[in-house]
Amino acid sequence: MPRKTTISLIKCDVGSLAGHYTVPKPLLNIAEKNLKTAKDQNLINSYYVFNAGDDLQLLMVHEKGESNPQIHELAWKTFHEAANKALQLKLYGAGQDLLKNAFSGNIRGLGPGVAEMEIEERGSDPIVIFAADKTSAGAFNFPLFRIFADPMSTAGLVIDPNMTEGFKFEVTDTIENKKAVIKTPEEMYELIALIGTVQRYMVSRVWRARDNMICAASSISKLSQIAGKYVGKDDPVMIVRAQHGLPAVGEILVPFMHSYLVEGWMRGSHWGPVMPVGLKDSKCTAFDGPPRLVALGFQIVNGGIACDDNGRPMIADLFDDPAFDMARHEALELATLLRRMGEFEPARLGPEEMEYTTIQQVLEKLRTRFTSA
C-alpha cells in the first residue's frame, strides 16, 4: 500500500507590522515554536513557517488526513497565541481574520484559509504551494486554468500521454454554496464561462482524468461571507502536485511570467496586478500592494518534507528568480496605469464587491437634492 501523506497549508492574518505590510518576527517565532513542539510530539512530520505579506502561513506535512481536528486545533491555537502577541505589541489588525470563536474540530469557516491535500506518495512527489496577499479567493482561477487546461501553456496536455485525457475541475459556487465537477478538454468553454466570474465561482480541486489522481487544492473561503460583511480580503493559498504525468514545475510556473488582474489591493476595493515575488519581497507597500504572490517548492518523502543534512526542510523559493522580472515589471506598469484612474471604475471594484464604501452615506446626504431627471 502506498503511504498516504497530507499536506496542510493554513493561513491567517493575526496582525502585522506597519499597517498591513508584513508578519514580524515575534509572531513567526510563536508559529515556529508551536510547530516544532508538534513535530517533537509526532503530531506532524515536517513544517515550514513563512509569510505572504501580512498573512502568517503554516505549512504542515503529516499522516493524519485532511480536516484532522488535532492539526486544525494546532493551527487555531497558534493563530490565537500569535494574535495575543500582536495585541500586546499593539500591532495593526491584531486577530484580524479570527472571525468566529467557535472552534469545534475544524478551522474552516472561522476565518483562516485552508488548502489541504492527501496524496498517495509516488516514487517522487514534487509539490508547489502558492500564497497570495491583498487579493480574494478567485485569484487562482486563471492560473489553474492555464496549468491544467490550456494546451498553449502546458505542453504536457498535448505531448504527455498521461495527461491527454485531461483534468477534472471542482468548481464551487460561493453564493449558492454548491459545487460541480467539470471535465476538460471536453467542457473547456463551460469551465471558462463559470470560472471567468472570479467573484463567484472558484476552482477548489483538480484531479487527473485518467485515474482521478488529486493534483491541486485551493482555499476558497470568502471572509465577507463568513462575517456577513466586508472584513478584509481572503488572501488565498493553494497546493499543486507536479511532474511525472502531471504538469511539470516549469509548466506550473510559466503562467506567472505575466502579471494579471485580481480583486483586492487597497481596502479590498480595487483591481490590482499580481506580482510574483521571492520571500524577501513578500510584503505589501504601494497602495497596500501590489497584490503579492509567493511560490515554494519541496519534495515529499516518507510522510514529510525532504530535509538537508541538518534536518531543515529544503524549500525552493521559486519566484526568487529573474525569469519573473518581466511579470514584476508588468505588474508595476499595470499598477501605475490603474492608479492613474483613481477612484473611477474599472480601477475601483463595482459597489457590490467593495470592502469599504461610503455610497449609502453619500446618497443619504444628497437624497433631497435629487429631482426627476
For binding to Mg ion (CB under 5 A), which residues are involved?
A: 13, 20, 54-55, 93, 133, 235
Nearest to 162 by CA among 153, 172, 152, 154: 154
* Residue with the three cell numbers 492608479: 339
CB-wise, 235 or 355, nearer to Mg ion? 235
Nearest to 93 by CA among 28, 22, 31: 22
CA separation for the pair 116, 216 (Å, rounded): 9
Residue 272 lies near ligand F6R (rule: CB under 6 A): no
Interface region with ligand F6R, contact rule CB under 6 A, candidates 171-179, 197-205, 262-270, 314-322: 262-270
Radius of gyration of the chain (CA): 20
Interface region with ligand F6R, contact rule CB under 6 A, candidates 102-110, 203-211, 261-269, 311-319: 261-269
CB of 268 to ligand F6R, least distance (A): 4
CB-wise, 19 or 250, nearer to ligand F6R? 19
Q: Which amino acid is at 205?
A: R
- Binding residue for ligand F6R, selected from 137, 288, 292, 304, defined by CB under 6 A: 288
Residue 245 contacts residue 237 (beta carbons within 8 Å):
no
Residue 19 lies near ligand F6R (rule: CB under 6 A): yes
Q: What are phi and psi of 57, to 5 degrees?
A: -115, 125
CA separation for the pair 281, 327 (Å, rounded): 14
CA separation for the pair 356, 362 (Å, rounded): 13
Residue 55, contacted partner among ligand F6R, Mg ion, none, CB below 5-8 A by kind = Mg ion
Within residues 133-152, the interface with ligand F6R by CB under 6 A covers 134
CB-wise, 136 or 218, nearer to ligand F6R? 136
C-alpha cell at 296: 515554494
Within residues 309-348, the interface with ligand F6R by CB under 6 A covers none
Any idea which residues carry the catalytic annotation? 13, 230, 233
Give the interface with ligand F6R as residue ranges (CB under 6 A).
19-20, 134, 232-233, 264, 266-268, 288
